[in-house]
Copies of this chain bind each other. A is one copy, B any other.
């Protein structure tokens, strides 16, 4: 198998279990026996395949980077021609991000794992930052800079992009609070659309007021 193929077999089962349990309860709070049980294998398999619990954590991080690479795709090389195009591209990317964050059972585990590593300062953090956050943020800054007639790497632009991103991320992190307050039982298609519409409108309002 090539490097970019999804793992298969017991290795894959353990990584899936790791993403799920590490993301849901945290690394330290997840016993190796729970991982093995979920992966329908023996605890010794963890040491055999990954050298230990910590090794599985790193493998999960690599898998996350791989999955995200698939979703995000290669960063666009050429910038759009007009401000209008830049705005449209920004909106499309924001909407895609909302869908990725709120939909898909696999994305659920992926996002939860990343957030855990983030707050725990886990070793998978650097991996995901370099592989995803940084290039994606740069891409968004280029678009936002174009939409606001400002340098892409200006402090104002970078901060602006974070404030746009933050809105989307919050709906994943704060899901329990949000769903309770909204009277939702979860994020199905209708809720995702409502969120994406809201954030897209916010983005256009913010960028329109900027120049």
Contact = CB atoms under 8 A, between A and B. Distances in A.
Contacts of A206: 201-202, 205-206
Interface stretch (A39-47, A57-65, A70-78, A175-183): A175-183
Interface string A20-54: 00000111110000000000000000000000000
Copies of this chain in its oligomeric complex: 2
Given A205-B209, A209-B201, A171 B162 contact: yes
Interface in A168-211: 168-171, 173-174, 176-178, 180-182, 194-195, 198-199, 201-202, 204-206, 208-210
A60 B102 CA distance: 30
Contacts of A173: 115, 118-119, 169, 173
A137 B183 CA distance: 14
B163 A202 contact: yes
A204 B181 CA distance: 24
Task: Name the residue in A137, A156, A195, A209 with the highest tally of chain B Cβ atoms < 10 Å from its Cβ.
Answer: A209
Q: How large is the interface on A (under 10, 10 to 19, 20 to 34, 35 or more residues)?
A: 35 or more
Given A208-B205, A208-B209, A171 B181 contact: no
Task: Name the residue in A25, A129, A182 with the highest tally of chain B Cβ atoms < 10 Å from its Cβ.
Answer: A25
A133 B166 contact: no
Task: Name the residue in A116, A165, A170, A204 with the highest tally of chain B Cβ atoms < 10 Å from its Cβ.
Answer: A170
Given A118-B177, A205-B209, 20 more contacts: A28-B28, A28-B29, A115-B173, A116-B119, A118-B174, A118-B176, A129-B180, A133-B181, A158-B181, A158-B182, A159-B182, A162-B181, A163-B167, A163-B199, A166-B168, A166-B169, A166-B171, A202-B202, A205-B210, A206-B206
